[in-house]
């Protein structure tokens, strides 16, 4: 007897089979300088190949793939950046994500190659992949240029996410925001723009200060933002009635998170708050996709993970916080606000 049952549609499998090629195409084009070379206008494949010192035939294949991925357009024999490529994939753009893209290519790509072992052992892959015993951020800032580019990449993410985070809740009751691990100050800038009566402090490692000074100094709210260098696990925290943690909590173990949040709780006045910016997992941990992928990324790269709102409630309530609220946003980060009674 013949089996007349049709197999299920394979599209989802075929798309996933090819998905890593999409990412690597963008990574390679950024790394080779394709989008920077086209920032001033269109060029032919032959001209680009000479300028970038690459094989002409191979480059034409890469350019064609970038057209299909909507990163480039082709007019006649001229290749041009799309608006998205100009905004996010060129070194000259203030909104660029190139630092994080290059980090994804040179570092995360290799860590993810050992995902199976991360699943087996439940630990990050720095030692296996690179032979490094140092913590993640010591590696990031061991090279001044790479550290700066990573911060600029995170700044690009911040320009996308921070305006959503600071509008998730009414922050007008607070007078001083201290953004711990605040990097370039994108969240502090967004909060001060949102709340005219708010002052802010950006607290981060000394290595982050020069770039933060430059970015904040160019903003319209620079006079209301102060920079303080320090390690939030060790050094005295500044005085503030609202502490922010953007893409910080998901980096660390439960013990370190408890230590950090306890330090914040002790420093806050009664009625003060903590604003956490992370992507929140669904209660049953089946989504959303960005949070799920970031959860695996934290496994390969850090000591931490992503969490559900209920899990944040347990951690924060354990320390003494009350009125824990969560707000999902359309950006790469959601927001959680908790209050000290």
If one counts every other C-beta atom within 10 angstroms of the C-beta of residue 225, the result is 23
Average pLDDT estimate for 194-214 = 95
Helix H or strand E encompassing 294:
helix 289-301
295 pLDDT more than 90: yes
Average pLDDT estimate for 281-292 = 96
pLDDT tens digits, one per residue of 82-109: 999 999 999 999 899 998 999 999 999 9
1 pLDDT more than 80: no
30 pLDDT more than 90: yes
Q: Do residues 304 and 249 touch, judged by C-beta distance below 8 A? A: yes
Helix H or strand E encompassing 274:
strand 273-278
Q: What is the pLDDT, as a whole number, of residue 147?
A: 79
3 pLDDT more than 80: no
Is 232 strand, coil or helix? Answer: coil
Is 338 strand, coil or helix? Answer: strand
Tokens representing 225 are 């933002």
Cα separation, 281 vs 284, in Å, equals 8
Distances (CA, A) of 126 to 141, 181, 194, 252: 15, 22, 39, 15
Q: How confident is the model at residue 149 (pLDDT cuts 50, 70, 90)?
A: confident
Tell which residue, 8, 59, 15, has the closest CA to residue 37. 59
Tokens representing 336 are 């959680």
Range of lowest pLDDT (140-144, 261-265, 286-290): 140-144
- pTM, rounded to two decimals: 0.92
The active-site residue, picked from 124, 155, 186, 250, is 250
Tokens representing 81 are 């950046």
pLDDT tens digits, one per residue of 259-268: 999 999 999 9
- The full DSSP string for 50-97 is HHHT--HHHHHHHHHHHHHTTSEEEETTEEEE-HHHHHHS-TT-TT--
315 pLDDT more than 80: yes
135 pLDDT more than 70: no
**Domains, the chain:** 11-88 (1.10.10.10), 126-339 (3.40.50.150)
Q: What is the CA radius of gyration of the chain?
A: 22
Q: How confident is the model at residue 136 (pLDDT cuts 50, 70, 90)?
A: low
User: Is-catalytic flag, 250?
Assistant: yes
Nearest 10 degrees: CA dihedral of 287, 26, 211, 189?
Answer: -40
pLDDT tens digits, one per residue of 181-192: 999 999 999 999
Mean pLDDT of the chain: 94
Q: What percentage of the chain carries pLDDT values higher than 90?
A: 88
Q: How confident is the model at residue 133 (pLDDT cuts 50, 70, 90)?
A: confident
């Amino acid at each position: 007897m013949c089996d007349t049952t049709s197999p299920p549609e394979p599209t989802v499998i075929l798309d996933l089979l090819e998905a890593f090629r999409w990412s690597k195409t963008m990574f390679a084009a950024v790394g080779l300088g394709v989008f920077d070379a086209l920032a001033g206008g269109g060029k032919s494949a032959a001209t680009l190949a000479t300028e970038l010192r690459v094989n002409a035939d191979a480059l034409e294949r890469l350019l064609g793939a970038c057209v299909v991925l909507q990163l480039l357009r082709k007019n006649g024999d001229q290749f041009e950046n799309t608006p998205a490529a100009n905004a996010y994939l060129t070194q000259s753009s203030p909104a660029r994500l190139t630092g994080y893209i290059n980090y994804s290519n040179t570092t995360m790509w290799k860590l993810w190659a050992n995902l199976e072992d991360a699943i087996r052992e439940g630990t990050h892959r720095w030692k296996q992949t690179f032979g490094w015993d140092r913590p993640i951020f010591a590696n990031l800032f061991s090279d001044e240029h790479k550290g700066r580019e990573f911060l600029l990449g995170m700044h690009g993410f911040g320009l996308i996410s921070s305006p959503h985070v600071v509008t998730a809740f009414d922050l007008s009751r607070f007078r001083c925001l201290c953004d711990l691990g605040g990097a370039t100050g994108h969240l502090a800038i967004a909060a001060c723009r949102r709340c005219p009566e708010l002052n802010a402090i950006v607290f981060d490692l000394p290595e982050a200060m020069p770039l933060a000074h430059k970015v904040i100094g160019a903003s319209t709210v620079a006079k209301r933002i102060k920079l303080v260098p320090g390690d939030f696990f060790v050094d005295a925290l500044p005085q503030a009635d609202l502490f922010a943690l953007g893409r910080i909590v998901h980096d660390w173990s439960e013990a370190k998170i408890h230590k950090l949040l306890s330090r914040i709780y002790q420093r806050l006045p009664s009625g003060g708050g903590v604003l956490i910016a992370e992507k929140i997992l669904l209660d049953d941990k089946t989504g959303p996709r960005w949070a799920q992928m970031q959860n695996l990324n934290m496994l390969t790269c850090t000591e931490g993970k992503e969490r559900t709102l209920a899990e944040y409630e347990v951690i924060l309530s354990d320390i003494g916080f009350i009125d824990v609220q969560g707000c999902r946003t359309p950006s790469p980060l959601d927001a959680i606000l908790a209050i000290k009674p």
